[in-house]
Structure 1
Amino acid sequence: MRTHLQRWLRVTVGVLAGAVTAVVELAFALVAGVWLLATLGRCTGRGAEARVEAGARRLAELERRRMAAFFGTELSAAPSGRPAVNYIASRWSFGLLGGVVLACALLGAGYASLAVWGWFVADIRAPGTLILSSIAGLFLLYLCVQGTYGVALADERHARRFLGPNDGQLMERRIGELVASRAGVVEAVHDERRRIERDLHDGVQQRIVALGMLLGRARRAADPQKSARLLAQAHEETQQALVELRDVAWRVYPAALDEGGLAAALETVAERAAIPVRLDCDLRATPPPTAQAVAYFVAAEAVTNAVKHSGATRVIVRAEQRGTVLHLRVEDDGQGGADPSGGGLLGLARRVAALDGTLTVASPAGGPTLISAELPCA
C-alpha cells in the first residue's frame, strides 16, 4: 500500500510539473509560430528557424529529464531540428489535460471531505444531499486518480513517438540483448566446463594416478614394513583426492544452496575463505533458485579474487532483497585494479545478464574493490 501511494504521488508530481511546462510550451509555440510567419521569406528567416529549433530542443530535453525523474521513462536524447519542434508544438495538450485532471481531483477531494467538515461551517438542512455530494466527490476523486496514470502513459507514448525509442526500437534492442546474453551464457558454460576439466586433470586425476602407483608398489614390495608405509601413503592420497573432488563439486554447485538457501551457501563461502569475511544477509523472502545460484557464484568468485589477487585483509559480503530485486555487494580492502573484462568477472557478467540483471565493478588503483550485482526476482 505504501509503495503504491509513493508511486502515485511521484506520478502526480510529474503530471503537475508537466502541466507547468505545458504553459511554457504553449506560449513558446504561439510566439515561435508568429515569429516564423513574420520572418517568412526574409533573409533572416533561416536564423529565426534555427533559434526556434534550439529552443524546442532545450524544452524537449527538459521533458525527457522530467519523465526520467518522475515516470522512470528512459528516452533517447532530445533530437534537433523539426522533430523537436513538432514534439513541443503538440506536447502542451497532454500537459494541460493533466492539469485539468489534477484540478478535478482537488474538486473531488473537496466534495468527498464535505461530509466531515461541512457540518461545522454551514447550516446543513439536507443531510442526504450532503452525503450524496460526498459520494460523488469520492467517485470523481477515484476517476482522477486513474486519469493521472492515463495522462502519464499518454504523455510517455507521445514522447516515445517523437524522441524515441519507440516500440520497434525497444523490441530491436531487446532482441539484441537476448542474442548477446545467450551467446554469453554459452561461452560462460564452455569456460566453466574447461575449468572443471582442468581441475579434474591437474588435481584429482593426478592424485588417482599417484594412488595407483603407490598401490602397485605396495603389492610388489617384499618387505611388509615398506608395504605398510606405501599403503599409508596411498591412504593419505585417497583422503587428498576426496578433498579435491569435494572442492571441484563445490565450485560446480554447492549442496548448501539447495539445503539451506543463499544465506547458508554464503556462510560456506565465508568459512572456506583464507581471510576474514563478514556476512550480512537480509533476505525477507526466498529468491528464485536461479537468482540465488547467480548471487552465490558472484560472491564466491569475488571472494576468491580478493584472496588470490588483491592482497585484501578482509571482505564484506552483503545480500538483501528490496522489492523484486536481489542486491549483492562484495567489498574488500585490497589494492584494487580488478579488470571487469577478465575471464572470471566477464563470466559473472554474462551469468547476471542472462537474468536481465546488472553487474558493476568499481576497482580503482589502490582499492577498495566493490562488486555489486542486481538480480530481478519477479
Structure 2
Amino acid sequence: MSQPLHARLVPLARRGWLLLAGLATGALTAALELLFLLAAGLACALTAPFPRPRTTVRRAILDNAHRLARMETRRLHHFFGDPGASTYTGRRVLAYLATRLWVGAAGGLIVSLLAMGGGIAGILLAQLVDGRFNDGPSMFFVNVFLGLVLLFIDLQGMAGLATVEKRLARDLLGPSGTEELERRVGELAASRAAVMSAVNDERRRIERDLHDGVQQRLVALGMLLGRARRGGDPDRTAELLRQAHEETAEVLRDLREVSWRVFPTALDDGGLRPALEAVVERSVIPVRLDCRVDGRLDIELETVAYFVVSEAVTNASKHSGAAAIEVEVSRHGDRLGVTVTDAGEGGADPGGGGLSGLARRVAAVDGDFHVESPPGGPTIVRAELPCA
C-alpha cells in the first residue's frame, strides 16, 4: 500500500530545510573562520622573531582551531548526518578550516540565490494578484519555468555541497590511511587475544564440567555396580541396578551437555533455528523464541549467535529468578541481531565469567555486545553480528 502524498513530502521538506539551514550556518561559520585565520596569520607574523611568544601563540591557535573544527563536526552531524570524522590534533585542523572557506562561501552564494529567487517569485505573485502583471500570460509562464529551473539547480547545489562538506571533514579530520590501518591492526590483535582467552575459558569450563559432573557420576555408577555385584539379596541387587540405570541416563545427559558446549551438531544438521529450538527445549524456564532468519549464514556467525543465546538463557535460568525468557533473533540487512530478555531480579555482572566470555566471542567476529541489567530487572543481553 503506497504512502499518502503528504507522508512522502514531509520528509523531503524536512531534509530540504536541514540542508538550507546547514549551508546558511556554514556560511556564517566560514566567515568566523576567515576572521580567525587572518588573526592567526597576523599573530604568527608579529611573534615570528620571538621564540617564547611564538610558541605560546601557535599553541593558542591550534587550541582554538580544534574548537572551531569540533563546532563544524557538530554542525555537520546536526544538519547533514554523521560526517564520519573526529577532530585530530596537529595542523590538519588548520588545513581543514582553510579549505572549507570556499565551501562555506559557495553555500552562502546558493542560499543568497535561493533567497533572491524567493523574493522575485513573491513580487511576481503579488503583481499577478493585484493585476499589475502586464507582460502577458506567455511571459508569466516563461518566468515560472525559469524560476523552477533555477530552483532545481539550487536544490541540486545544496545536496552536492552537503556531500562535499562531509567528504572534506572525513578526509581532513578523519584518520589517514596509515592511522586507519594501525587502528585495524590493533583491533585484530585485541580480537585475537580475546579469542584465545575465550577458548581457554571454555576449556576450563569443559574440564570442570567433566570433573565435577561426568567423572563424579561415573564413580557413583561404578560403586553402584560394585555393590550390586557383591550383593546376595536379589531385591537389593535389582534396586541397585535400577539406580545404576538412572545414573547412566544422567551421565549421558551430562555428556550431551558438554558436547553441545564444544559444538552443537544441530548447526551442521539444520542451521541456527533448530539449534536454538534445542536450547529452548533444554531450558528449565519457559522460553519464547522468535527467530526471523531465512536461509543459512556463515557457520562461524551461527555458532556465535547460538552461544550468545545458550549462555544468556543458562544464566537467566540459574540466577535471574525470572518466570519466562524471550529470545529474538532477526537479520536486518548485513547485521544479525540477537536479544535475550528476562524480567528477573537484574543486577547481572557484564564482567562475570559467562558474559565476559560472550563479549569476547562477539568481538572475535567484529560484533557489538551489550548487557543492560539494572537492579530489579529486566536483564537484556544484545549482540549485533555482521553478516557481510
Q: What's the TM-score once normalised by structure 1's chain length? A: 0.73
Structure 2: distance between partners of 1:293 and 1:319 = 13
Report the CA distance between 1:64 and its aligned residue: 2.0
Q: Kindly provide the amino acid, as one letter, of the partner of residue 88 in structure 1.
A: L
Among residues 64, 72, 76, which one is paired with 1:63 in the alignment? Answer: 72
Structure 1: distance between partners of 2:347 and 2:207 = 29
Instruction: Provide, for residues 213-239 of structure 1, a one-character-per-residue CA deviation record: whole Å limited to 9, x for no partner.
Output: 332333333444443333222222212
Among residues 16, 23, 26, which one is paired with 2:27 in the alignment? Answer: 23
| Structure-to-structure mapping, 1:248-287, within 5 angstroms | 248-287=258-297
Measured at CA, do residues 19 and 49 of structure 1 come closer, stay the same or move farther in structure 2, by a change above 3 Å?
farther
**1:178 maps to what in 2?**
188
Whether contact under 8 Å (2:83, 2:169) holds in the other structure is no
| Structure-to-structure mapping, 1:211-360, within 5 angstroms | 211-360=221-370
SS at match of 2:377: coil
Report the CA distance between 1:74 and its aligned residue: 3.8
**1:32 maps to what in 2?**
36
Whether contact under 8 Å (1:312, 1:333) holds in the other structure is yes
**1:157 maps to what in 2?**
171
Among residues 365, 373, 377, which one is paired with 2:383 in the alignment? Answer: 373
**1:6 maps to what in 2?**
none
SS at match of 2:307: helix
Measured at CA, do residues 272 and 100 of structure 1 come closer, stay the same or move farther in structure 2, by a change above 3 Å?
farther
**1:107 maps to what in 2?**
none
**1:132 maps to what in 2?**
none
Q: Kindly provide the amino acid, as one letter, of the partner of residue 159 in structure 1.
A: L
Q: Kindly provide the amino acid, as one letter, of the partner of residue 201 in structure 1.
A: H
Report the CA distance between 1:277 and its aligned residue: 1.8
Report the CA distance between 1:16 and its aligned residue: 6.9
Structure 1: stretches of 5+ with no match in the other structure: 1-8, 103-120, 124-140
Measured at CA, do residues 225 and 315 of structure 1 come closer, stay the same or move farther in structure 2, by a change above 3 Å?
closer
Structure 1: distance between partners of 2:186 and 2:57 = 41
What number of residue pairs does the alignment pair up?
340
Report the CA distance between 1:305 and its aligned residue: 1.3
Whether contact under 8 Å (1:310, 1:334) holds in the other structure is yes
Greater mean alpha carbon deviation, residues 147-156 or residues 298-307: 147-156
Structure 2: distance between partners of 1:34 and 1:148 = 25
Structure 1: distance between partners of 2:186 and 2:169 = 27
SS at match of 2:357: helix
**1:205 maps to what in 2?**
215
**2:119 maps to what in 1?**
none
Structure 2: distance between partners of 1:251 and 1:34 = 66
SS at match of 1:313: coil
Measured at CA, do residues 357 and 296 of structure 1 come closer, stay the same or move farther in structure 2, by a change above 3 Å?
same
Whether contact under 8 Å (2:84, 2:170) holds in the other structure is no
Whether contact under 8 Å (1:336, 1:363) holds in the other structure is yes
Structure 2: distance between partners of 1:198 and 1:48 = 64
Structure 1: distance between partners of 2:165 and 2:16 = 10
Report the CA distance between 1:210 and its aligned residue: 2.3
Structure 2: distance between partners of 1:10 and 1:72 = 17
Q: Identity, % of aligned pairs?
A: 49
Q: Kindly provide the amino acid, as one letter, of the partner of residue 74 in structure 2.
A: R
Report the CA distance between 1:166 and its aligned residue: 2.4
Greater mean alpha carbon deviation, residues 213-222 or residues 49-58: 49-58
Report the CA distance between 1:91 and its aligned residue: 2.1
Whether contact under 8 Å (1:97, 1:151) holds in the other structure is no
Structure 1: distance between partners of 2:24 and 2:205 = 60
